[in-house]
């Protein structure tokens, strides 16, 4: 098949999941498998479930609906607050939503009431990264309101760090979350089943420090790409190559390295300066910024990225490649997210037929080191 495609090795995703689930279960932490970077792929979701996640989470309702349509029965969490008008769709596909506004809680309450359901709410608290969540001093009042709202139940407390401001999860901010959970439980006389400490950026904290009341992490990147988002370094024992992007060549010609003529702005702003290095083999692969974050592509040996416009990836290769020849790239999170969303890239599953016995025998021994080696 000659078209740009993402190849996904589901066995590697299952193995990464199992390694992380095993590691965290020793800390009393469950894993919510996050599917959003794969556009809510049901196959990826099944691999995560086979690897031991207790539930699935996604930030987009459309992705959760796709999982339900594909027959996934596992509990689903909506990781980003819905808008009020999405409340009916939310309660129809998710059992839990992460929220930070009373109006949203009320909309979800009304929607759940209409279908005779109880919807779970995880109240998000802002602990420094300045994305979603109520300020810590407002958590108790909001939790009190929610606990008196019909058709919804206060399932837990959560936070999210390292996404906007790059704030690192530490014993201090995680301790603050634990303390808030304890406060809510004693003030409101209830038990919070879920205290969700964060995302893949929490792994280093989870390995190093006692978890306190935190009993859930929402993991996407570490399962899918086997790396720590804080350092973007591989986590030892995890596969970093579960995804690859295969792109056909459409041109490969000898060309100079410096452009010719007066220069203005290029299609995507000021071009990086090009110095004359003589004649090279310049190769074009049929993909561009519309499909992928070119900075997040890892080309194979002997191939380097020169530039990217909307639809052309301009590479330097050591030899001329025949049109139709394929180049295989690794992807970082940003490249994966965008590539999975491009309608011009097909997704295929490269895993060998699922053999549970051979899988478990090839399980990596995990030695998470947080990339500091
Ligand atoms: C995307 C997301 C996650 C998962 O993040 P990873 O870094 O991929 O593990 C967790 N929580 C929320 C709220 C998210 O939006």
Write out pLDDT tens, residues 173-225: 999 999 999 999 999 999 999 999 999 999 999 999 899 999 999 999 999 99
Read off the DSSP letter of residue 286: S
Cα(35) to ligand 1 centroid in Å equals: 9
Residues enclosing ligand 1, CB less than 6 A? 34, 36, 59, 79-80, 160, 199-201, 218-222, 229
What pLDDT is recorded for position 356? 43
Write out pLDDT tens, residues 290-305: 999 999 999 999 999 9
Most informative mutation of 78, 163, 203, 223 for ligand 1 (most atoms within 8 A of CB): 163
Cα(139) to ligand 1 centroid in Å equals: 21
What pLDDT is recorded for position 1? 66
Cα(161) to ligand 1 centroid in Å equals: 9
What pLDDT is recorded for position 371? 36
Q: Are 283 and 249 in contact (CB under 8 A)?
A: yes
Cα(3) to ligand 1 centroid in Å equals: 30
Active site residues: 36
Query: What is the atom index within ligand 1 of the atom nearest the CA of 218?
Result: 10
- Beta-carbon contacts of 67 under 8 Å, excluding residues fewer than 6 positions away, are 35, 40, 42, 45, 56, 58, 76, 93
For the chain, which residues score pLDDT lower than 50? 353-373
Give the count of beta carbons closer than 10 Å to the beta carbon of residue 300. Answer: 11
Query: What is the atom index within ligand 1 of the atom nearest the CA of 34?
Result: 4
What are the CA-CA distances from residue 251 to residues 75, 303, 310, 312 (Å)? 48, 14, 16, 10
- Beta-carbon contacts of 233 under 8 Å, excluding residues fewer than 6 positions away, are 227, 370, 371, 372
What pLDDT is recorded for position 367? 46
Tokens of 250: 């459409």
Query: What is the atom index within ligand 1 of the atom nearest the CA of 32?
Result: 10
What pLDDT is recorded for position 196? 98
């Amino acid at each position: 098949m000659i078209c740009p495609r993402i190849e996904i090795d589901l066995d590697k995703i299952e193995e990464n999941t199992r390694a992380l689930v095993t590691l965290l279960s020793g800390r009393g932490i469950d894993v919510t498998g996050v599917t959003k970077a794969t556009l809510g792929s049901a196959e990826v979701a099944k691999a995560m479930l086979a690897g031991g996640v207790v539930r699935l989470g996604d930030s987009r309702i459309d992705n959760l609906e796709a999982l339900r349509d594909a027959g996934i029965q596992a509990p689903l969490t909506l990781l980003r607050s819905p808008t009020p008008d999405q409340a009916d769709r939310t309660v129809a596909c998710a059992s839990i939503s992460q929220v930070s506004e009373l109006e949203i809680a009320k909309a979800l309450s009304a929607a759940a009431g209409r279908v005779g359901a109880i919807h779970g709410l995880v109240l998000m608290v802002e602990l420094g990264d300045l994305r979603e969540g109520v300020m810590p001093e407002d958590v108790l009042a909001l939790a009190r309101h929610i606990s008196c709202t019909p058709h919804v139940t206060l399932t837990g407390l959560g936070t999210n760090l390292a996404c906007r401001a790059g704030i690192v999860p530490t014993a201090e901010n995680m301790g603050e979350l634990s303390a808030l959970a304890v406060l809510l439980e004693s003030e409101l006389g209830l038990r919070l089943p879920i205290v969700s400490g964060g995302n893949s950026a929490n792994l280093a904290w989870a390995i190093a420090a006692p978890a306190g009341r935190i009993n859930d992490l929402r993991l996407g990147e570490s399962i899918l790409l086997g790396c720590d988002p804080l350092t973007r370094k591989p986590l030892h024992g995890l596969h970093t190559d579960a995804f690859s992007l295969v792109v056909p060549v459409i041109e490969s010609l000898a060309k100079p390295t410096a452009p010719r003529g007066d220069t203005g702005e290029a299609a995507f702003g000021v071009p990086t300066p090009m110095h004359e290095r003589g004649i090279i083999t310049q190769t074009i692969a049929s993909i561009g910024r519309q499909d992928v974050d070119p900075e997040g592509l890892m080309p194979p040996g002997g191939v380097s990225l020169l530039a990217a416009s909307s639809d052309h990836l301009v590479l330097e290769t050591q030899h001329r490649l025949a049109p139709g020849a394929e180049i295989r790239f690794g992807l970082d999170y940003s490249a994966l997210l965008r590539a999975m969303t491009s309608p011009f890239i097909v997704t295929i599953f490269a895993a060998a037929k699922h053999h549970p016995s051979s899988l478990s025998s090839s399980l990596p021994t995990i030695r998470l080191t947080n990339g500091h080696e």
